[in-house]
Amino acid sequence: MKKAEALISSVLFEKINTIAPDAVTKADMESMFTVPPDAEMGDLAFACFKLSKVLRKAPQMIAQSLCGDFSCDAVERCEAVAGYINFYISDSFRTDVILGDILSRGEEYGKIDIGKGKTMVIDYSSPNIAKPFHIGHLGTTAIGNSIKRIYSFCGYDCIGINHLGDWGTQFGRLIVAYKKWGSKEAVEQLGVKELARIYKDFYVEAEKDPSLNDMAKAEFTKIEQGDKEALELWHWFKDISLNEFMKTYNRLGISFESYNGESFYNDKMDRVVNELTQKGLLKESDGAMLVDLEEYGMAPCLILKNDGSTLYATRDISAAIYRKENYNFDKCIYVTDAGQSLHFAQFFKVIGLMGYDWNDKLVHVPYGKISINGEKLATRTGNVVLLEELFDDASKRALAIIEQKNPDLENKEYIAEKVGIGAVIFNQLSSGRIKDINFVWEEALSFEGNTGPYVQYTYARTCSVLSKTECEDKKLPDGLVLNEDEKALISILSKFPVKVEQAHDDYEPSYISRYLLDVCAAYNRFYHNCPILKEEGDVKALRVALTKAANTVIGNGLWLIGLEKTPRI
């Protein structure tokens, strides 16, 4: 309804200014529009309360006088009620302008150009090498992918970076564990599972024999110094992990512009340490080096350990500077769980203290923690759900349902995979991202009610209608009269661009997923109440066009949240 609002607003603006010049600005006007709580009261309302002071009249009087001879193409009629002007949008405006716009823009509908000419770096997913890819990474992977799509839909040039956790003492531990308890065959055969198993053994053994910890440190130092054997092992572990991660990314249709993980910054950190030293920001504490952030109400940011080795934050500071120099981003966002908020606040501050005024372009986008059946997720105790297994199960369940309901469907396995994954991803994206999630297997895989498969199913329904008839591209006939279901459907479809913008502003994919549920509800109501293919002439043309418009919006929305468009289920 933005278009209708703009037209109405300019007519009102003229009228108000003839009564009292400079009484309002266009920006003031924007805040006076609301959407009435139910359709009986019109499609848009304009509140006259703020005008009452400047015009020295009661709001209802103002509403009445503005309503008087109101004339605008978008409006069929208006009424003054309790200080509001309620506007009823004309059917011709709905069909010619709103519906016409959706149909003519198609896949472009909903795109806005606020990001045109701007670059956005998005650091997301970023799992740790040699550790299982588990449900703890689902949030960053699904939310990050969706935010990336939303931003590119808004015109940004997006660079997705997988900042792999591929550096640190844990690789020393892994080498020790491998040499002591591992075998080439087992790692080759079992991959990350075997690496995770021997890594766990390390902790058990190190409890009994702490000298293992020193050995691990020594092994990591070897990697850092470029020792051939150590580096080869490290590379091998990394390749094995990445290969497995890639399988999951492929299933999700996700790829990254860069896989530069923490190790990439190994030779770039000296510069940061020198710069911090030169700028007088480093302080010694028990042999370690840190940046004191007490003044800003934060714990210090650790830069070097007492043995001179670098930390997670050191690599992140390096990475941010590297990204700014290489991509010249307008925004660089990091999607991780809220548990890392302090880390981001600390290193953003350090970058600011180094004199880089672009530190305000670094944004941490946190999401809630995930627990499993009410218990904390823990790789060490095994309270963990592997993404691969979750997706396998989801896809198996979807296939079982298809076998039951639509056994002759072509390409069953493929569709079951997309619907199963759709259920899991949608479940992750359907509540506000900051909310903690308690993962319950049955709920995440539910296909009933407000779920991904429901949206995919409605999409398939629109495709099925369209496959049985022609949607002619020509202009819809004049003088169409719309019923309530048709009006409601057009109203909801018209909100898509605003939802995209809000999702962009708040980094919030759930705005899109919840909106899709509303669109599906409106389309399904229309579908049940209004025959489409049985109709003829203008009515049929209109209903087919509405189906096409719903198909466009649901399709574009599914893409934004990273779900596959499924023409048939």
Contact 180, 219 (CB under 8 A): no
Residue 515 engages ligand ARG in binding (rule: CB under 6 A): no
- Integer-rounded Cα Rg, in Å, for the chain is 29
Shortest spacing between CB 118 and ligand ARG, in angstroms: 21
SS3 content of the chain, % helix, strand, coil (to 5): 60, 10, 30
State yes or no: is 343 an active-site residue.
no
In this chain, which stretch among 82-90, 126-134, 179-187, 545-553 interacts with ligand ARG, using CB under 6 A?
126-134
Which is closer to ligand ARG, CB of 126 or CB of 458? 126
- Taking the C-alpha atoms of residue 319 and residue 313, their distance in angstroms, rounded to an integer, is 10
* Selected binder of ligand ARG within 43, 123, 194, 244 (CB under 6 A): 123
How many of the chain's residues bind ligand ARG (CB under 6 A)? 10
Contact 9, 66 (CB under 8 A): no
Contact 341, 373 (CB under 8 A): no
110: which residues sit within 8 A by CB, 6+ positions away? Answer: 153, 496, 497, 499, 500, 553, 556, 557
In this chain, which stretch among 57-65, 125-133, 422-430, 468-476 interacts with ligand ARG, using CB under 6 A?
125-133
- Taking the C-alpha atoms of residue 264 and residue 120, their distance in angstroms, rounded to an integer, is 20
In this chain, which stretch among 51-59, 122-130, 264-272, 391-399 interacts with ligand ARG, using CB under 6 A?
122-130
Q: Report the residue closest to ligand ARG, judged by CB.
A: 165
Which is closer to ligand ARG, CB of 319 or CB of 560? 319
* Run of H or E residues at 216: helix 211-224
Which is closer to ligand ARG, CB of 63 or CB of 192? 192
Site string for ligand ARG, 292-331 (x = CB under 6 A): ------------------------x--x------------
Set 2, 57, 116, 137: catalytic member:
137
Give the residues across from 331 on adjacent strands. Answer: 120
Shortest spacing between CB 161 and ligand ARG, in angstroms: 8
Set 131, 148, 324, 495: catalytic member:
131
3-state secondary structure of 43: coil
Strand order in the sheet with 33-34: 33-34, 44-47, 84-89, 75-81
DSSP label at residue 358: G
Number of neighbours of residue 481 by Cβ within 10 angstroms: 11
Shortest spacing between CB 100 and ligand ARG, in angstroms: 44
Q: How far is CA 89 from CA 34, 379, 412, 428, in A?
A: 14, 57, 44, 37
Set 26, 118, 134, 343: catalytic member:
134
State yes or no: is 364 an active-site residue.
no
In this chain, which stretch among 24-32, 105-113, 120-128, 443-451 interacts with ligand ARG, using CB under 6 A?
120-128
Residue 334 engages ligand ARG in binding (rule: CB under 6 A): yes
Shortest spacing between CB 264 and ligand ARG, in angstroms: 11
Phi, psi dihedral angles at 371 (to 5 degrees): -125, 165
Contact 462, 550 (CB under 8 A): yes
Which is closer to ligand ARG, CB of 334 or CB of 523? 334
Which is closer to ligand ARG, CB of 96 or CB of 388? 388
Residue type, 195: L
In this chain, which stretch among 121-129, 170-178, 242-250, 555-563 interacts with ligand ARG, using CB under 6 A?
121-129
Shortest spacing between CB 479 and ligand ARG, in angstroms: 58
* Selected binder of ligand ARG within 86, 90, 95, 128 (CB under 6 A): 128
- Taking the C-alpha atoms of residue 162 and residue 145, their distance in angstroms, rounded to an integer, is 11
* Selected binder of ligand ARG within 110, 127, 144, 172 (CB under 6 A): 127
* Selected binder of ligand ARG within 59, 115, 144, 165 (CB under 6 A): 165
Shortest spacing between CB 171 and ligand ARG, in angstroms: 13
3-state SS string for 80-142: EECCEEEEEECHHHHHHHHHHHHHHHHHHCCCCCCCCCCEEEEECCCCECCCCCEHHHHHHHH
Could you tell me whether strands 33-34 and 301-304 are parallel, antiparallel, or unpaired per DSSP bridges? unpaired
* Selected binder of ligand ARG within 9, 86, 336, 427 (CB under 6 A): 336
* Selected binder of ligand ARG within 163, 173, 397, 418 (CB under 6 A): 163
Contact 326, 336 (CB under 8 A): no
Which is closer to ligand ARG, CB of 282 or CB of 338? 338
Which is closer to ligand ARG, CB of 316 or CB of 485? 316
DSSP label at residue 565: P
Which is closer to ligand ARG, CB of 87 or CB of 199? 199
* Selected binder of ligand ARG within 86, 126, 428, 430 (CB under 6 A): 126
Q: What residue ranges in 217-322 does DSSP mark as E strands?
A: 282-285, 288-291, 301-304
Shortest spacing between CB 72 and ligand ARG, in angstroms: 51
In this chain, which stretch among 119-127, 364-372, 413-421, 517-525 interacts with ligand ARG, using CB under 6 A?
119-127
Shortest spacing between CB 263 and ligand ARG, in angstroms: 12
Residue type, 431: S
Residue 366 engages ligand ARG in binding (rule: CB under 6 A): no
Longest dimension (CA), the chain: 89
Contact 121, 327 (CB under 8 A): yes
Contact 167, 263 (CB under 8 A): yes
Contact 109, 2 (CB under 8 A): no
State yes or no: is 137 an active-site residue.
yes
Which is closer to ligand ARG, CB of 66 or CB of 320? 320
Which is closer to ligand ARG, CB of 64 or CB of 379? 379
Q: How far is CA 130 from CA 149, 233, 235, 434, 478, in A?
A: 28, 12, 11, 28, 64
And the tokens for 465? 């209608």
Q: Using CB under 6 A as the criterion, which residues of the chain lie in contact with ligand ARG when the complex forms? A: 123, 126-128, 163, 165, 316, 319, 334, 336
- Catalytic residues, which ones? 131, 134, 137
